[in-house]
Amino acid sequence: MSEPHPPKLSSQKDEEDEAPVRPATPTIQQQFFTLFQQEHTQLSSQIATLPTLSPTEKSALIAEILPSIASLSSQLNDATSYLPLYDQRQYLSQIKALNDSLAKARSTGSGATKPKFSFKSKKTLEGARDLRPAGAPSPASVSTPAPKTASLPLQTDVLTISAPSSKLSLPPNDGKDYTALYLSNLTGHVLNLLALPTPPSTAALKDITSSLLILPPINGPVHFTNIHDCVIALPLVRQLRLHDSSNLKILLWCGSQPIVEGVKGIQFGRCPSALKKHVKDLPDEALNKYDQVQDFKWLKAEKSPNWDLVDEEIVAPTQLWEEAAALKDEGRCSGLLEEFGVGADEEI
Protein backbone atom coordinates (compact mmCIF):
# COMPACT_ATOMS: atom_id res chain seq x y z
CA MET A 1 0.00 0.00 0.00
CA SER A 2 1.60 3.30 -1.06
CA GLU A 3 1.78 6.04 1.52
CA PRO A 4 0.52 9.56 0.69
CA HIS A 5 3.26 12.16 0.70
CA PRO A 6 3.15 15.35 2.76
CA PRO A 7 1.78 18.33 0.85
CA LYS A 8 4.00 20.68 -1.07
CA LEU A 9 3.10 24.23 -0.09
CA SER A 10 2.77 27.16 -2.48
CA SER A 11 5.59 28.87 -0.65
CA GLN A 12 7.81 25.85 -1.38
CA LYS A 13 6.98 25.19 -5.04
CA ASP A 14 10.24 26.67 -6.33
CA GLU A 15 12.48 25.20 -3.64
CA GLU A 16 14.03 22.72 -6.06
CA ASP A 17 15.20 25.56 -8.34
CA GLU A 18 16.70 27.83 -5.72
CA ALA A 19 17.28 27.64 -1.98
CA PRO A 20 15.50 30.58 -0.35
CA VAL A 21 16.97 32.25 2.69
CA ARG A 22 14.74 31.23 5.58
CA PRO A 23 14.05 33.65 8.40
CA ALA A 24 15.62 32.95 11.77
CA THR A 25 12.15 32.55 13.32
CA PRO A 26 9.79 30.24 11.37
CA THR A 27 6.57 31.84 10.21
CA ILE A 28 3.28 30.56 11.56
CA GLN A 29 2.66 28.88 8.18
CA GLN A 30 6.00 27.06 8.41
CA GLN A 31 5.28 25.98 11.97
CA PHE A 32 1.95 24.53 10.90
CA PHE A 33 3.61 22.73 7.98
CA THR A 34 6.15 21.13 10.35
CA LEU A 35 3.47 19.99 12.81
CA PHE A 36 1.22 18.71 10.02
CA GLN A 37 4.05 16.81 8.35
CA GLN A 38 5.10 15.09 11.58
CA GLU A 39 1.56 14.03 12.38
CA HIS A 40 0.91 12.97 8.78
CA THR A 41 4.05 10.83 8.67
CA GLN A 42 3.17 9.13 11.94
CA LEU A 43 -0.40 8.38 10.85
CA SER A 44 0.76 7.04 7.48
CA SER A 45 3.15 4.68 9.25
CA GLN A 46 0.41 3.44 11.58
CA ILE A 47 -2.01 2.87 8.71
CA ALA A 48 0.63 0.92 6.77
CA THR A 49 0.94 -1.58 9.63
CA LEU A 50 -2.80 -2.33 9.92
CA PRO A 51 -3.00 -5.24 7.39
CA THR A 52 -0.28 -7.11 9.31
CA LEU A 53 -2.02 -7.00 12.72
CA SER A 54 -4.36 -9.44 14.42
CA PRO A 55 -8.06 -8.42 14.50
CA THR A 56 -7.84 -7.16 18.08
CA GLU A 57 -4.61 -5.24 17.55
CA LYS A 58 -6.03 -3.81 14.35
CA SER A 59 -9.20 -2.57 16.09
CA ALA A 60 -7.17 -1.01 18.89
CA LEU A 61 -4.89 0.87 16.48
CA ILE A 62 -7.84 2.05 14.39
CA ALA A 63 -9.35 3.44 17.60
CA GLU A 64 -6.17 5.51 17.95
CA ILE A 65 -5.93 6.57 14.30
CA LEU A 66 -9.51 7.81 13.89
CA PRO A 67 -9.40 10.58 16.53
CA SER A 68 -5.92 11.58 15.35
CA ILE A 69 -7.13 12.17 11.79
CA ALA A 70 -10.14 14.06 13.14
CA SER A 71 -7.84 16.20 15.26
CA LEU A 72 -5.61 16.92 12.26
CA SER A 73 -8.65 18.03 10.27
CA SER A 74 -9.75 20.27 13.15
CA GLN A 75 -6.30 21.85 13.33
CA LEU A 76 -6.48 22.63 9.61
CA ASN A 77 -9.87 24.27 10.06
CA ASP A 78 -8.40 26.43 12.84
CA ALA A 79 -5.49 27.44 10.59
CA THR A 80 -7.51 28.59 7.57
CA SER A 81 -7.33 32.21 8.73
CA TYR A 82 -3.61 32.44 7.90
CA LEU A 83 -2.97 29.66 5.33
CA PRO A 84 -3.09 30.46 1.58
CA LEU A 85 -5.96 28.80 -0.26
CA TYR A 86 -3.62 26.69 -2.37
CA ASP A 87 -1.95 25.34 0.79
CA GLN A 88 -5.34 24.65 2.36
CA ARG A 89 -6.33 22.55 -0.63
CA GLN A 90 -3.07 20.62 -0.47
CA TYR A 91 -3.58 19.83 3.21
CA LEU A 92 -7.21 18.81 2.56
CA SER A 93 -6.01 16.48 -0.18
CA GLN A 94 -3.55 14.82 2.19
CA ILE A 95 -6.20 14.31 4.89
CA LYS A 96 -8.47 12.74 2.29
CA ALA A 97 -5.59 10.46 1.24
CA LEU A 98 -5.16 9.36 4.85
CA ASN A 99 -8.85 8.50 5.09
CA ASP A 100 -8.69 6.61 1.80
CA SER A 101 -5.61 4.67 2.95
CA LEU A 102 -7.30 3.85 6.25
CA ALA A 103 -10.43 2.59 4.47
CA LYS A 104 -8.29 0.37 2.23
CA ALA A 105 -6.27 -0.96 5.15
CA ARG A 106 -9.44 -1.79 7.10
CA SER A 107 -10.66 -3.92 4.22
CA THR A 108 -7.47 -5.96 3.88
CA GLY A 109 -5.64 -8.38 6.14
CA SER A 110 -7.06 -10.08 9.22
CA GLY A 111 -10.18 -8.66 10.82
CA ALA A 112 -11.09 -6.74 7.66
CA THR A 113 -13.98 -4.38 8.16
CA LYS A 114 -15.86 -1.87 6.08
CA PRO A 115 -16.48 1.59 7.51
CA LYS A 116 -20.17 2.03 8.25
CA PHE A 117 -20.27 5.71 7.36
CA SER A 118 -18.21 8.85 6.98
CA PHE A 119 -18.74 12.50 7.69
CA LYS A 120 -18.36 15.26 5.16
CA SER A 121 -16.13 18.13 6.15
CA LYS A 122 -18.26 20.90 7.63
CA LYS A 123 -15.95 23.59 6.35
CA THR A 124 -15.70 23.93 2.56
CA LEU A 125 -13.86 26.31 0.32
CA GLU A 126 -16.66 26.74 -2.21
CA GLY A 127 -16.80 30.20 -3.70
CA ALA A 128 -13.21 31.01 -2.74
CA ARG A 129 -10.78 32.18 -5.41
CA ASP A 130 -8.82 29.16 -6.67
CA LEU A 131 -5.08 29.76 -6.43
CA ARG A 132 -4.10 26.37 -7.84
CA PRO A 133 -1.78 26.26 -10.85
CA ALA A 134 -3.49 25.98 -14.21
CA GLY A 135 -4.48 22.42 -14.98
CA ALA A 136 -4.28 21.26 -11.36
CA PRO A 137 -7.09 18.85 -10.42
CA SER A 138 -9.94 20.11 -8.29
CA PRO A 139 -9.77 18.76 -4.72
CA ALA A 140 -12.34 16.18 -3.77
CA SER A 141 -14.57 16.57 -0.77
CA VAL A 142 -12.93 15.36 2.39
CA SER A 143 -14.29 12.53 4.50
CA THR A 144 -13.46 12.86 8.17
CA PRO A 145 -14.10 10.38 10.96
CA ALA A 146 -16.17 10.82 14.07
CA PRO A 147 -15.02 13.36 16.67
CA LYS A 148 -11.97 12.43 18.73
CA THR A 149 -12.59 10.01 21.55
CA ALA A 150 -10.51 7.69 23.66
CA SER A 151 -12.23 4.40 23.09
CA LEU A 152 -11.11 0.84 22.49
CA PRO A 153 -13.05 -2.27 21.50
CA LEU A 154 -14.27 -4.20 24.50
CA GLN A 155 -12.76 -7.60 23.75
CA THR A 156 -11.32 -10.27 26.02
CA ASP A 157 -7.70 -9.10 25.65
CA VAL A 158 -8.49 -5.46 26.40
CA LEU A 159 -8.09 -4.69 30.11
CA THR A 160 -10.97 -2.37 31.00
CA ILE A 161 -11.22 -0.51 34.30
CA SER A 162 -14.18 1.84 34.50
CA ALA A 163 -15.97 3.30 37.53
CA PRO A 164 -14.68 0.64 39.97
CA SER A 165 -16.16 0.42 43.46
CA SER A 166 -12.69 0.12 45.00
CA LYS A 167 -10.25 3.03 45.39
CA LEU A 168 -7.32 0.80 44.38
CA SER A 169 -6.77 -1.01 41.08
CA LEU A 170 -4.02 -3.59 40.60
CA PRO A 171 -3.31 -6.04 37.74
CA PRO A 172 -5.84 -8.91 37.59
CA ASN A 173 -4.63 -12.39 38.53
CA ASP A 174 -6.05 -14.07 35.43
CA GLY A 175 -2.81 -14.92 33.63
CA LYS A 176 -3.86 -13.05 30.47
CA ASP A 177 -1.56 -11.05 28.22
CA TYR A 178 -3.56 -7.91 27.52
CA THR A 179 -2.87 -6.12 24.24
CA ALA A 180 -4.71 -2.91 25.15
CA LEU A 181 -5.88 -0.87 28.14
CA TYR A 182 -9.05 1.17 28.51
CA LEU A 183 -9.36 3.23 31.72
CA SER A 184 -12.26 5.60 32.36
CA ASN A 185 -14.44 7.25 34.99
CA LEU A 186 -11.95 7.21 37.85
CA THR A 187 -12.08 9.74 40.71
CA GLY A 188 -9.92 9.76 43.84
CA HIS A 189 -8.32 6.53 42.62
CA VAL A 190 -4.91 4.86 42.91
CA LEU A 191 -4.00 2.62 39.97
CA ASN A 192 -0.81 0.58 39.67
CA LEU A 193 -0.44 -1.71 36.64
CA LEU A 194 3.35 -2.01 36.65
CA ALA A 195 3.12 -5.74 37.30
CA LEU A 196 1.24 -6.60 34.10
CA PRO A 197 3.22 -9.52 32.64
CA THR A 198 3.24 -8.24 29.05
CA PRO A 199 3.35 -4.59 27.90
CA PRO A 200 0.13 -3.67 26.07
CA SER A 201 0.42 -2.26 22.56
CA THR A 202 -1.93 0.68 23.14
CA ALA A 203 -3.93 2.44 25.85
CA ALA A 204 -6.75 4.96 26.11
CA LEU A 205 -7.67 6.93 29.24
CA LYS A 206 -10.75 9.11 29.52
CA ASP A 207 -12.70 11.06 32.17
CA ILE A 208 -10.32 10.71 35.13
CA THR A 209 -9.88 13.20 37.98
CA SER A 210 -7.91 13.49 41.23
CA SER A 211 -6.09 10.17 40.83
CA LEU A 212 -2.61 8.64 40.93
CA LEU A 213 -1.99 6.51 37.83
CA ILE A 214 1.05 4.24 37.55
CA LEU A 215 0.83 2.65 34.13
CA PRO A 216 2.79 -0.27 32.67
CA PRO A 217 5.13 0.14 29.70
CA ILE A 218 3.10 0.70 26.52
CA ASN A 219 4.68 -0.51 23.25
CA GLY A 220 2.67 1.92 21.18
CA PRO A 221 0.45 4.99 21.56
CA VAL A 222 -1.39 6.27 24.62
CA HIS A 223 -4.35 8.62 24.23
CA PHE A 224 -5.51 10.78 27.18
CA THR A 225 -8.81 12.68 27.02
CA ASN A 226 -10.45 14.78 29.74
CA ILE A 227 -7.94 14.05 32.52
CA HIS A 228 -7.70 16.54 35.40
CA ASP A 229 -5.80 16.99 38.69
CA CYS A 230 -3.76 13.79 38.43
CA VAL A 231 -0.22 12.49 38.81
CA ILE A 232 0.69 9.99 36.08
CA ALA A 233 3.78 7.79 35.78
CA LEU A 234 4.57 5.94 32.57
CA PRO A 235 7.91 4.05 32.28
CA LEU A 236 7.62 3.66 28.50
CA VAL A 237 5.35 4.91 25.73
CA ARG A 238 6.05 5.22 22.02
CA GLN A 239 3.56 8.02 21.31
CA LEU A 240 1.55 10.21 23.68
CA ARG A 241 -1.44 12.41 22.86
CA LEU A 242 -3.18 14.52 25.48
CA HIS A 243 -6.47 16.30 24.79
CA ASP A 244 -8.78 18.56 26.82
CA SER A 245 -6.96 18.07 30.11
CA SER A 246 -5.57 20.23 32.93
CA ASN A 247 -3.44 20.31 36.06
CA LEU A 248 -1.38 17.17 35.47
CA LYS A 249 2.09 15.94 36.32
CA ILE A 250 3.18 13.31 33.79
CA LEU A 251 6.47 11.48 34.43
CA LEU A 252 7.50 9.29 31.53
CA TRP A 253 9.87 7.95 28.92
CA CYS A 254 8.48 8.85 25.48
CA GLY A 255 9.92 7.67 22.17
CA SER A 256 8.41 10.56 20.19
CA GLN A 257 7.48 14.15 20.85
CA PRO A 258 4.40 14.26 23.13
CA ILE A 259 1.46 16.01 21.50
CA VAL A 260 -1.00 18.12 23.51
CA GLU A 261 -4.11 20.01 22.45
CA GLY A 262 -6.59 22.00 24.48
CA VAL A 263 -4.61 21.64 27.71
CA LYS A 264 -3.54 23.85 30.62
CA GLY A 265 -1.17 23.43 33.56
CA ILE A 266 0.60 20.28 32.31
CA GLN A 267 4.05 19.37 33.66
CA PHE A 268 6.30 16.73 32.13
CA GLY A 269 9.23 14.99 33.80
CA ARG A 270 11.30 11.80 33.72
CA CYS A 271 9.83 8.60 35.11
CA PRO A 272 10.99 8.07 38.74
CA SER A 273 13.83 5.59 39.21
CA ALA A 274 11.82 3.95 42.00
CA LEU A 275 9.36 2.78 39.34
CA LYS A 276 11.81 2.05 36.52
CA LYS A 277 13.55 -0.60 38.60
CA HIS A 278 10.35 -2.67 38.40
CA VAL A 279 10.51 -2.74 34.59
CA LYS A 280 12.93 -4.71 32.41
CA ASP A 281 14.68 -3.62 29.21
CA LEU A 282 13.84 0.08 29.28
CA PRO A 283 15.36 2.20 26.47
CA ASP A 284 18.29 4.54 26.96
CA GLU A 285 17.28 7.67 28.87
CA ALA A 286 19.21 9.75 26.33
CA LEU A 287 16.50 8.88 23.78
CA ASN A 288 13.70 10.19 26.00
CA LYS A 289 11.74 12.98 24.23
CA TYR A 290 9.52 13.83 27.20
CA ASP A 291 10.69 17.46 27.07
CA GLN A 292 10.03 18.01 23.33
CA VAL A 293 6.30 18.66 23.66
CA GLN A 294 4.25 19.98 20.75
CA ASP A 295 1.14 22.01 21.51
CA PHE A 296 -1.18 21.88 18.51
CA LYS A 297 -3.13 24.87 19.85
CA TRP A 298 -0.02 27.06 20.14
CA LEU A 299 1.65 27.91 16.84
CA LYS A 300 3.66 30.96 17.95
CA ALA A 301 7.46 30.97 17.92
CA GLU A 302 7.83 31.12 21.68
CA LYS A 303 7.23 28.11 23.92
CA SER A 304 3.63 27.25 24.79
CA PRO A 305 2.55 28.44 28.27
CA ASN A 306 0.27 25.40 28.57
CA TRP A 307 3.03 23.00 29.61
CA ASP A 308 6.30 23.03 31.52
CA LEU A 309 8.96 20.68 32.89
CA VAL A 310 9.24 19.34 36.43
CA ASP A 311 11.81 17.27 38.31
CA GLU A 312 10.50 13.90 39.47
CA GLU A 313 11.90 14.49 42.95
CA ILE A 314 9.78 17.63 43.26
CA VAL A 315 6.63 15.67 42.44
CA ALA A 316 7.29 13.15 45.23
CA PRO A 317 10.32 11.73 47.08
CA THR A 318 11.70 8.30 46.15
CA GLN A 319 10.31 6.74 49.34
CA LEU A 320 6.77 7.79 48.44
CA TRP A 321 7.07 6.37 44.92
CA GLU A 322 8.33 3.09 46.36
CA GLU A 323 5.34 2.94 48.68
CA ALA A 324 2.95 3.61 45.80
CA ALA A 325 4.57 0.86 43.71
CA ALA A 326 4.12 -1.65 46.55
CA LEU A 327 0.67 -0.52 47.73
CA LYS A 328 -1.83 -3.32 48.47
CA ASP A 329 -3.99 -1.69 51.15
CA GLU A 330 -6.99 0.25 49.84
CA GLY A 331 -7.26 2.03 53.18
CA ARG A 332 -4.00 3.86 52.45
CA CYS A 333 -5.23 5.36 49.16
CA SER A 334 -6.69 8.63 50.49
CA GLY A 335 -3.59 9.40 52.54
CA LEU A 336 -1.30 8.56 49.64
CA LEU A 337 -3.22 10.83 47.28
CA GLU A 338 -2.95 13.66 49.79
CA GLU A 339 0.82 13.17 50.09
CA PHE A 340 1.16 13.31 46.31
CA GLY A 341 -0.84 16.52 46.29
CA VAL A 342 -3.50 15.00 44.10
CA GLY A 343 -6.81 16.85 44.06
CA ALA A 344 -5.34 19.93 45.76
CA ASP A 345 -7.14 23.19 45.13
CA GLU A 346 -4.13 24.99 43.69
CA GLU A 347 -2.97 24.22 40.17
CA ILE A 348 0.02 21.98 39.69
pLDDT value for 125: 37
Whole-angstrom distance, CA of residue 231 vs CA of residue 212: 5
Residue 98 near residue 1, CB atoms below 8 Å:
no
Please name every residue paired with 177 in a beta bridge, in sequence order, or none if there are none. none
Instruction: Report the C-alpha gap between 160 and 156 in whole angstroms.
Output: 9
pLDDT of residue 110: 61
Please choose, from the candidates 122, 13, 29, 130, the residue with its C-alpha nearest in 3D space to the C-alpha of residue 79: 29
| Domains located in the chain, CATH noted | 25-114 (1.20.58.400), 158-339 (2.160.20.70)
pTM, rounded to two decimals: 0.61
* Residue 333: predicted pLDDT: 96
Tell me the pLDDT tens digit for each residue of 207-231.
999 999 999 999 888 989 999 999 9
Backbone angles phi, psi at 244, to 5 degrees: 50, 50
Residue 115 is predicted with a pLDDT of 44
Question: Which of 202, 204, 210, 203 is closest to 186 using CA atoms?
Answer: 210
pLDDT of residue 191: 97
Cβ proximity of 44 and 4 under 8 Å? yes
HSE at residue 136, side-chain half, CA atoms within 13 A, is 13
One-letter amino acid of 2:
S
pLDDT of residue 224: 94
The sign of the dihedral angle between the CA atoms of 46, 48, 49, 51 is positive
Question: Which stretches of the chain score pLDDT less than 70?
Answer: 1-26, 109-156, 344-348
pLDDT of residue 193: 96
What is the per-residue pLDDT for 186?
Answer: 96
